[in-house]
Structure 1
Amino acid sequence: MGKKVKKESETPCKETFEPLPVEGKTPATVVLLLSSPEEDILIKACEAIHAFAEKGDENRVSLLGLGALEPLCQLITHNNKLVKRNAFMALGIMATNGDVKNALKKLDVIPSIIGKLSLEVDFVSKVQIFDNKGLPPLIQLLSSPDPDVKKNSLEIIFNLVQDHQSRLAVHELGGIPPLLELLNSDFPVIQHLVLKTLHCVTIDKDTCNTFREEHGVERLMDILNNTVLVELLTVADVSVKTTTCQAMSFHTASKDSYRDLGGIPAVVQLLHSDSLVLREAATQALSSLTHGNQLNSFAVYEAGGHEILVQQLCESCPGMAANSAATLGNMAGQEVIRCSILSHGAIQALVQPLKSTNTHVLVNTTQCLAMLACDMEARAELKSAGGLQPLVNLLQSYHKDVLHNACLAINVCAIDEATTVEMCKFGALEMLQEINQSVNRRSNYSKLAMISLLNSNLSVKYSLTGCLASTDIISAGFYDAGKAQAGQRILTLEELSKQPVNQHRPIIVVNTAVVNTAAKETVDMPEERLSNPSETDTSRDRRTPRRRKKDDKQKDETRPESPIEKPWKMMDDVSLQLLVKEAKEFILPLSDEREQYAALARLVSEAMGGAVEMEKLHEFPWVLHLSELKFQLQSNVIPIGLIGRGIYYHRALLFKCLVDCIGMSCTLVRGEYNRAWNEVLLFIENASSHGRSSQPCRYIVDLMHQPGRLLAANTPAAEQYQTI
């Protein structure tokens, strides 16, 4: 018989071990247990980690180093509620450490945590979240850059605010502003959750007040605007379209959305409507949409809206004219649009609204004009269209905004001398003087307009202020009419030229315009004369015969013709042209700047009668000479080049004129009793440092007594020259 062999069991044993108690003495062991498949072990391991982490920050960092975070993050998705709960608790206590927080962010586990919290929030869970101060971090997470975090946080908050206690807490914790911010989210699901949450929290009275204070209603309207208003522009009912335009005017937060949804071309089309009310509402909407928004301005331009708006400036409806002007002013900040607006006759169209009695029209029209008049052609067109006088008349307005905008427009128009002269003719300077003396009406705008007018009309500036800076460059047409009295209107050169000859002080005019006769003349004045520092002969014959011959010739040629025969024109000044030519040929080549000024001073003195001793000044026949010139010319206006006997104020003006013509620099200051002088800046040679000083010194140029002498400012010699 063969040996019997024991059969092996074909099925495994159904019996199992009794539960074994698991103990971990070290944190590393417990962390390893987090990977166990046994739920009981996982529960106890998570609980142990929670207890260990509670004991201090050092333990939390230790657990981080042992790699506890990743298995805990996986266990928050476990099917067993106790495992999930204990894992959350362990993560929560560990996350109070900054290093752990940073590690959690890198693991991108926050959306998952919030997502699990939002899956089921029963009453007990809500109480636990509230009691454990879970609401404040949830509100903070509403500002997270991650849309999933925002969405999941909103879901939890929505569930929590079903209870009165949480609704109050959301208000007290400042949750309303971040909720309102999320109304602008690009994700409809987030907007929907916000709306549901706001619906719950605004049941409370205090929360409702905060909602209003944070402009919650307007923000809700903005959402409605983005989806509904643009579509309403295409309906047939005129009243609906009118109301829609009005709504777009008031809800400006959605300016970009209206453009993106094609709303601006739709509004522009409404400008063609037969309904006056609808067209006014459309212009109002365009005014609002283009305010401070360049892209919307271009959208109106591309839709051809500016052409229609220019036409509507002349509308009898004040609201339409005002809104059209405002819109064009908003658009005119872009050069390409401004040029197109001007090409459609905007300046001509603005003249009539400038005469309006409606304050709203005047405010917007002057503002629009200030934007358009920055173009030279526009200023010339405004002058020719008769728009300067109604603009200047607005300086009489007592409405603050009208006056401010009128001053701004005048400031822009004053860039050109021609428009400045015209505005001064209409009394702009006198009005501005009065305004700037008024405590209630003066402003920075009125001061700016005054300065601009003076800087563009140096004749008036010199007459009023008695001073021209080195940066004020005299050009053809400048005239010295003497010191103006306060409130006195300074007549234009043309007006002064047409007055009959009188006994008053003559008006000295500068005409540096080149004339043919001057171009043909040659200068043979010897250079030696320019370097002679002490010409004391006051005889008229001191001038060269050639110069005297030219002066006589000019007198014959410049006798004014009757205004009936020819329109007024400024007299040519051949002698002045010769002086400018001499200065360029003989003064500029000099290498030393001090000698340049001195030589130019001698040239001026020689042209106006030479040096005059202080004691013999009363013998100098300048008054008789000027009277003779007025009689010969039959005019109160005398070209400065014809003056052969001039004193301080004649010579100072000629010196300033020549200095400006040849590119040098000096001031012109009027004193009392026919005194005037020029001040120049020169660097002093410093022997000790073998070079020039760092600061220039001021000098008064002697043109009368020792021509070419430079008198240091504020010295007795300089003061004697400036005063009697």
Structure 2
Amino acid sequence: MLNSPEEEILAKACEAIYKFALKGEENKATLLELGAVEPLTKLLIHEDKIVKRNATMIFGILTSNNDVKKLLRELDVMDSVIAQLAPEEEVVTHEFASLCLANMSAEYTGKVQICEHGGLEPLIRLLNSPDPDVQKNSIESLYNLVQDFQCRIALQELNAIPSMLALLKSDYPVIQLLTLKTLGVITNDKESLTMLRDNQGLDQLIKILESKELNDLHTEALSVIANCLEDADTRVLIQQTGGLQKLLSFAESSTIPDIQKNAAKAITKAAYDSENRKFFHEQEVEKCLVTLLGSESDGTKIAASQAISVMCESSGSKRLFNNHGIPQLIQLLKSDNEEVREAAALALANLTTCNPASAKNFKKYVKKWNQKMSLKINSGTKLLPLKELCLQELNHRRAVLLINSKSSDISRFSTGFGSPTEEKSEPTSGRNTVLSKSATKEKGPRKGRGRREEEKAKEEEEVLAVPKLTGEGTLDKEWYPPSDPDFCIYVYEVTKSILPITNIKEQIEVLAKYVAEKMGGKIAKEKMISFGWELHISELKFQLKSNVVPIGQIKKGIFYHRALLFKALADRIGLSCSLVRGEYGRAWNEVKLVNVSPKAATGGFSLPDVYIVDLMFHPGALMKLGTKEADLYRFL
């Protein structure tokens, strides 16, 4: 009947098919099998309005089926569907055409087709429709579309923000929620943030937070406000309107994990500004964040840890976290969730950096915790204490990499958790015996040959005096971890040559080249297979008669060896960076740099960008996170 030349028959056939499709997914699949889709597409451009409307209604229902969507993409009917959004069409036609686009936009290819065929403009126009179903379908379509960066750019050009903000006053929660979700995505872009602020969007967001009746919207509203806090001008406006105080109130009083999480995220973004940190400190936000560390939600724990990391820029906050935050953060290091452990470790690193009091407090807690507990990791196996790892017989597993910048002063031994300030302090003897080789080279000409030989002999005696693991697997009365004189020399050299560099970007580049040089130099991608690092590590394990290998002894290292060494040395000179673990032996370092822009030059605020440090192929090169070259470095 869909091929009938009579309009009345076509209209009734479409009406019957629509009712049949409404009954469930099985019926939609049946219509597809019977070949109904292709003749229906021709009716979307039929001259009779009723026939066209009924055909559009069918596609609004059918496109929830993935196979139907796939066929429609192949038939390229997007122009015909978008044409049904024209102002002269009936509201019912608008409803089902927009529903069709909402279903189609859920997949990437559908997004591309909608944008390429000019679907954004009519969808934005229909946000002002008097019909709530049309509004709901249109904003849902836009929410799906703005997941794509190009669509977000087009949305800004079409000035969609005012129409979206109007939907926040809708009587229908689903429309308000979809609108907030869409705003949460597009306000990641600076231009959209400015448009939101210029159209009094902040006032509406604050009013939503103030309304207890709208508590189902608070989570998403907080998410949008968190994005707004990325912008300096918007931050000032939020503080002036009392928004920061409301963030604290939500973080402290809410029992809903998502609200707690988003409030903590908003605090994190606001705390990048020193004035906001001062305000939060005066309001004792530290107590609130420590409380959130005890949440049952992993997302809240991560967000609270990240907020603590940023608040640690304030010395006053560090003092408070020193007494109350360290034990809780250490507990999070035992979490089964890798992201929780990572966030807690970063918070502890920022808390103890250049803060001897916190570092000492941390060591007190962590020493007790290594002694008494074993961590559980994803595989369900236990991470053994260092002493037991050193005593194990040789095996074929990946070597355990050890960071140890002490050889004879075991009281200040650190396995990577210590404060850079404490690591660089000198022993009571007046000099660091491990570094004396390099120091002697510097001072020798002024002191004379006899003095150099005397110091060298003394140094060798002290190094040899350090207790070693015996071949029989027994220990002296007091056990000491394997020393790493090469790593100690690395620390000395980078402290002397890289720490004085005032430009952070240059520091990163020079350190990256230094690390690559110590680990075998630049490697061409096509020569990775023949680099021979695996044999080198195996030989080290055999020579040491241990599965534990000090990082300084590795002279042929790949991604994760170099990334660990870079992180260890960066920590020693106070250079901020993250160590990120990927899959299949990949690991990398992330750094944050603020680009100099015209606005920054005139005193404006510029957010830092995240870069991956190349330690393998072009040592010292910085690849912006999210770019193709950065992804190629991180993933196989």
TM-score of the aligned structures, taking structure 1 as reference length: 0.36
Larger RCO (alpha carbons 8 Å, 6+ apart): 2
